[in-house]
Structure 1
Amino acid sequence: MKHTRLAAIAALGLAASLSLTACGGDDSAKDSSSKGSSSSSSSDSGSKAESGSDSDGTEAGAGADNAKSGSGEDTKTEAGSGTTQTSGKVKFCTTEDLAIDATDAAPDETSGRINITMINRGSTTCSATGFAGVDIKDEDNTSSPIERGQAQPRITTLKPGDAAVFNLAYDIDSTGESLASPTNIEVTPPNETHSVTLDWPASAGDIKGAYTDVQVFPTHTTK
């Protein structure tokens, strides 16, 4: 009997030991699994956070660059171009600042030419570039606008005291039967609205045809 009890106690002790070992293994597995899960979750969170930070950083950076190129550079460009235009701008000569005169400058007996000279009598440099407006008045009190000749305007900048000239060209009628009887030339300087009235040069040859056959050419400097 005593042997049987000892055997039974030993069997119970072995069973208890096995049970404890099994329990300890399960707990270790659970702990290990739990730690692994926690580590994985932490890693995922870190990746998402890092990815989100990069994305936000990229967008913010692009936005900042766009803002710089959209405002700073454009502003500099506009400011630069505005400064250039302002510093390089020359005002057009006004009629009141010009001394204007008309003279006969025919090169021969068949080609009529009247030179109209404009002298800058103002105190600042001005531009007389372009075509002047010209009307010829006849003794019957009619006025005829003169058409522009085929010529490209040249830059005509006048310092105080400088002169610009433009001319009227036509064919001379040597028959003595011309129907044109000009008395005055009305001149409006380029880019102006005020005009002056000049006498038709007495020595100028008669106009062949009509006033529509006379042409005006653009201004140029006399230098």
Structure 2
Amino acid sequence: MKYTRITALAAIGVAATLSLTACNGDNSEKNSSSKSSLSSSSSSSDGGSKPEGGSGSGDSEAGNAKSGSSDDTGAEAAANGAATGGKVTFCKTQDLAIDATDAAPDKDSGRIDITMVNRGSTTCSATGFAGVDIKDADNTSNPIERGHAQPRVTTLKPGDAAVFNLAYDIDNTGDSLASPTNILVTPPNETHTVTLKWPAGAGEIEGAYTDVEVYPTHTTD
């Protein structure tokens, strides 16, 4: 009887051991499967967020866009064109025939028209204000102030003329203290000066030379 019980108990112990082993084996497989799944998921997630592919192609596209930009190419070509002579240069004093005439519209408003004709062989620009001094009979030279006016683009082909004006009030009293003899003209953006005679018959200047104003060039068309 005792032997039967011992045998039974031994059988139960073996069964229990086998059951625990089986359970541990299942848990190990589950844990192994779970780790494998997490590892696979992590690998997939990392692969999707890696910057290698996207970043590389993005940089390549940006590089291609920069190197193939038509706007940059056009701007560079325009700059090269200007550097190789596409830009109109300013008229040189030596290429201009310059003359001064009395152009007073009435007895009270004095005006001297100074005309510049392009005698050169190329188109040039006379845009802006000419530098002007008036020389008096006492041999002093007086700089003339600019009038309030905006310069206009003044481009001269060979043979074309530009004009600018000196404006002042005429003194009809005969008491003017100004005795102009010459007009010294330096064309816009030039350093060489020409000396012109004060036009015969021009009205006397009222006040001082500081009351005379010079206006910007414009074409005669």
TM-score (norm 2): 0.79
The RMSD of aligned alpha carbons is: 3.4
Aligned partners of 1:24, 1:178: CA distance in 2, in Å? 131
Residues 58-137 of structure 1 aligned to structure 2 (within 5 Å) = 58-60=54-56, 63=59, 71-72=66-67, 77=71, 80-84=74-78, 86-87=81-82, 89-137=87-135
What is the CA distance between 1:52 and its match in structure 2?
4.0
Aligned partners of 2:20, 2:167: CA distance in 1, in Å? 123
Amino acid at match of 1:197: T
Q: Deviations over 1:138-176 (max 9, x none)?
A: 111100011111222111111111000011112222333
Q: Deviations over 1:39-81 (max 9, x none)?
A: 234324424432442x454554565566667x558x7655544
Amino acid at match of 1:202: A
Amino acid at match of 1:164: A
The aligned counterpart of 1:201 is 199
Aligned partners of 1:23, 1:179: CA distance in 2, in Å? 130
Aligned partners of 2:177, 2:147: CA distance in 1, in Å? 22
Equivalent residue pairs, number: 217
TM-score (norm 1): 0.79
Q: Which has the larger radius of gyration?
A: 1
Question: Which consecutive residues of structure 1, in runs of 5 or more, have no partner in the other structure?
Answer: none
Cα 1:13–1:163 change in 2 (3 A) is: same
The aligned counterpart of 2:36 is 39
SS class of match (1:96): helix
Aligned partners of 2:129, 2:120: CA distance in 1, in Å? 20
The aligned counterpart of 1:184 is 182
Aligned partners of 1:82, 1:104: CA distance in 2, in Å? 48
Question: Which consecutive residues of structure 2, in runs of 5 or more, have no partner in the other structure?
Answer: none
Aligned partners of 1:193, 1:79: CA distance in 2, in Å? 37
Amino acid at match of 1:212: T
The aligned counterpart of 2:148 is 150
SS class of match (1:50): helix
The aligned counterpart of 2:211 is 213
* % identity of equivalent residues: 58
